[in-house]
């Protein structure tokens, strides 16, 4: 095989493999994206259904609370004689009217009643309930002692022991109910009046047909999906499988979903990949679950995605073949020359040039390459020289900030005047200030020994202590070996000044400044710590990063980095009311 044939074959292989991989990834990614979007949509439907359920059933909760303070109901039951049948019939009419006022507007409510052991009030529909006080619904309401109880879907015939109804078809065969015991009371001239102790408290029962939930889910979930609503004991309140209603649903994964409360998850159930979306009602505590086969969500899109992937791969392969056949022959030579020249440039030889033998795009590319090399060579030289000059000028500008020789001579005259007038304290302050100015007025602003820097600091502390009348004290803890090493001049002054003027601004006495120095490996560390009022995080950020921050601190940070490199500098730790610690990090390489 010729080199062209081998290159063409390699080109096709290199194209085919990425096409296969990308096609597979595209197919799976598209399928996964579509599945995830469908999963989100189903989950949104479940959440929306639960919101609707909470809205519908929440009305029963609100209305039942209103019955507690209904004055008419209070009067009826507080004065009712259960032994008088005429009173019971009259009371039933009144109670039916009151309950109708609260619940007739809610079309989802099938029946609203008040049960007692002696009579059932408000029976607006013909439901032969026998003695409802013997039912489990009544007993759970009694145990709840006034709290709302949501009783899951039950078989009316079994609940009220009416076996004779099995022979017929009744619309209220499966109901679920909300019940609570009502202990009426009302305000009478600012006095809370309660039912007599001997009056039996009735149980409010609001019944719904289970189809209320069925209609909601059947109209909203995707085709092929199943649903169920479970109470905390996993009793099926509603389900697409009507045979499961009123029975206990036994699956381990339900408990994990109940613990999460709301969400979506992919499971393998009955040998099929399923998407399970679930959400828990805030009103009833019931868990709504919708199970959708993954294939049902994407069955219409899978053929389209598969066909698109295959066609795209074939088209791209054909284009790649034509491109390779016509172009490869004309790009091998110029590319080799350019690659060889680039290799030389990459190794630092910017004198490399490529002969221009063609007038097409490759010839223009070669010309541009040669011109780029010339430009790079010139820029490297210019950039190197400019950086050296900029750094030299910056160091000179930072170091040459003060030249106070005339003040030095003036202070000496003032010192002798103080001595002649027997003002020793003033004389000592002038001597300290004179030494400080002499220290800062040197022409050479190179590094100094730590011992010289500390001598200057002691003079500075003496003057500041005299100025602030003993507001603060200073302590030192420095390793002896550090005194012979050099460091930038006036390294500590900005941070010490900040502690005295700002840190102790709200203190009359008791200020403490501790200066500590130690070594760790190839590094030196100096800490200036105070017990002042501290600095907020925003204040620290302003000092370190904002242009408007302290000139002295900015100057010091710049000098450290120019002298030792960007890895060195300062670190500030502080909090309001907790003092401030400034740690200066330097190398052992003196500058």
Q: Would you state the pLDDT for residue 151?
A: 92
Lowest mean pLDDT across 18-32, 96-110, 129-143: 18-32
In a shared domain, residues 239 and 362: no
Per-residue pLDDT at 279 exceeds 90: yes
Angle, alpha carbons 244-249-250 (nearest 5°):
140
Q: Would you state the pLDDT for residue 402?
A: 43
Whether 308 is in a domain gets the answer: no
Whether 267 is in a domain gets the answer: yes
Confidence band, pLDDT 50/70/90 cuts, at residue 401:
very low
Cβ partners under 8 Å of residue 358, min gap 6? 334, 366
**Higher pLDDT, residue 308 or 196:** 196
E strand map for 372-484 = 448-449, 472-478
Whether 111 is in a domain gets the answer: yes
The full DSSP string for 236-284 is EEEESSGGGTTSBP--HHHHHHHHH-EEEEEEEETTEEEEEEEEE-TTT
Q: Would you state the pLDDT for residue 298?
A: 62
Please name which of 449, 454, 446 lies closest in space to residue 485, comparing C-alpha atoms: 449
In a shared domain, residues 254 and 189: no
End of a domain among 253, 283, 298? 298
Alpha carbons 177 and 30: distance in angstroms, whole number: 46
Per-residue pLDDT tens over the stretch 3-60: 556 666 776 777 777 777 777 777 677 777 777 877 888 889 889 988 988 888 888 8
Number of domains in the chain: 4
Whether 60 is in a domain gets the answer: no
Give the dihedral of Cα atoms 245, 249, 254, 260; nearest 10 deg.
Answer: 50
Question: What is the reported pTM?
Answer: 0.49
Alpha carbons 343 and 345: distance in angstroms, whole number: 5
* Residue 372 domain boundaries: 326-398
3 state SS of 156: helix
Q: Which residue matches tokens 């304290």?
A: 425
Structure tokens given for 485: 């090493």
Whether 320 is in a domain gets the answer: no
Whether 42 is in a domain gets the answer: no
End of a domain among 158, 174, 209? 209
The full DSSP string for 330-389 is HHHHHHHHHHHHHHHHHTT-TT-------SSHHHHHHHHHHHHHHHHHHHHHHHHHHHHH
Alpha carbons 194 and 63: distance in angstroms, whole number: 19
Structure tokens given for 456: 């200057």
Q: State the distance between the two ends of the chain, measured CA to CA, in whole angstroms.
A: 67
Alpha carbons 288 and 230: distance in angstroms, whole number: 7
Per-residue pLDDT tens over the stretch 434-458: 767 666 666 555 688 888 888 888 8
Distances (CA, A) of 3 to 6, 124, 237, 272: 5, 96, 75, 53
End of a domain among 209, 242, 263? 209
């Amino acid at each position: 095989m010729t080199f062209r044939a081998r290159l063409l074959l390699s080109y096709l292989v290199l194209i085919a493999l990425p096409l296969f991989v990308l096609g597979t990834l595209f197919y799976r990614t598209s399928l996964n994206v579509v599945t995830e979007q469908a999963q989100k949509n189903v989950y949104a439907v479940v959440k929306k259904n639960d919101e609707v359920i909470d809205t519908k059933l929440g009305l029963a909760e609100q209305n039942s609370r209103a019955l507690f303070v209904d004055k008419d109901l209070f009067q009826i039951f507080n004065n009712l004689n259960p032994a008088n049948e005429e009173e019971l019939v009259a009371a039933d009419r009144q109670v039916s009217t009151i309950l109708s006022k609260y619940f007739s507007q809610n079309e989802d409510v099938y029946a609203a009643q008040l049960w007692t052991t002696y009579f059932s009030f408000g029976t607006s529909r013909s439901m032969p309930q026998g003695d409802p006080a013997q039912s489990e619904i009544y007993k759970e309401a009694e145990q709840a002692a006034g709290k709302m109880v949501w009783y899951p879907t039950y078989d009316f015939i079994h609940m009220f022991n009416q076996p004779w109804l099995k022979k017929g078809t009744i619309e209220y065969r499966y109901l679920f109910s909300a019940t609570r015991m009502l202990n009426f009371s009302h305000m009478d001239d600012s006095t809370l009046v309660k039912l007599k102790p001997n009056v039996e408290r009735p149980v409010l029962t609001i019944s719904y047909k289970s189809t209320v939930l069925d209609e909601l889910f059947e109209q909203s979930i995707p085709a092929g999906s199943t649903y169920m609503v479970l109470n905390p004991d996993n009793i099926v309140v509603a389900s697409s499988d009507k045979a499961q209603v009123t029975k206990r649903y036994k699956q381990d994964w339900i408990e994990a979903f109940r613990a999460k409360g709301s969400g979506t998850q992919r499971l393998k159930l009955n040998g099929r990949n399923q998407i399970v979306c679930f959400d828990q009602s805030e009103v009833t505590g019931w868990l709504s679950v919708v199970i959708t086969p993954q294939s049902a969500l994407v069955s219409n899109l899978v053929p389209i995605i598969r066909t698109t992937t295959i066609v795209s791969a074939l088209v791209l392969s054909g284009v790649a073949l034509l491109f390779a056949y016509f172009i490869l022959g004309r790009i091998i030579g110029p590319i080799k020359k350019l690659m060889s020249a680039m290799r030389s440039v990459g190794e630092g030889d910017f004198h490399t040039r490529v002969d221009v033998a063609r007038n097409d795009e490759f010839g223009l590319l070669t010309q541009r390459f040669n011109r780029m090399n010339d430009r790079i060579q010139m820029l490297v030289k210019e950039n190197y020289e400019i950086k050296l000059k900029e750094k030299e000028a910056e160091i000179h500008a930072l170091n040459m900030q003060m030249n106070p020789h005339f003040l030095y001579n003036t202070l000496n005259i003032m010192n002798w005047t103080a001595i002649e007038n027997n003002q020793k304290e003033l004389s000592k302050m002038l001597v300290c200030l004179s030494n400080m100015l002499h220290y800062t007025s040197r022409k050479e602003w190179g590094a100094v020994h730590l011992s010289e820097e500390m001598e200057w600091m002691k003079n500075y502390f003496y003057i500041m202590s005299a100025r602030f009348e003993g507001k603060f004290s200073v302590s030192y803890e420095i390793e002896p070996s550090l005194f012979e090493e050099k460091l930038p001049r006036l390294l500590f002054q900005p941070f010490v000044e900040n502690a005295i003027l700002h840190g102790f601004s709200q203190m009359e006495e008791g200020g403490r400044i501790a200066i500590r120095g130690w070594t760790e490996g190839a590094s030196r560390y100096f800490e200036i710590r105070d017990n002042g009022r501290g600095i907020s995080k925003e204040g620290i950020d302003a000092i370190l990063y904002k242009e408007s921050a302290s000139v002295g601190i900015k100057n010091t940070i710049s000098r450290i980095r120019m002298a030792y490199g960007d890895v060195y500098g300062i670190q500030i730790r502080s909090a309001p009311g907790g003092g401030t610690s400034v740690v200066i990090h330097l190398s052992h390489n003196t500058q």
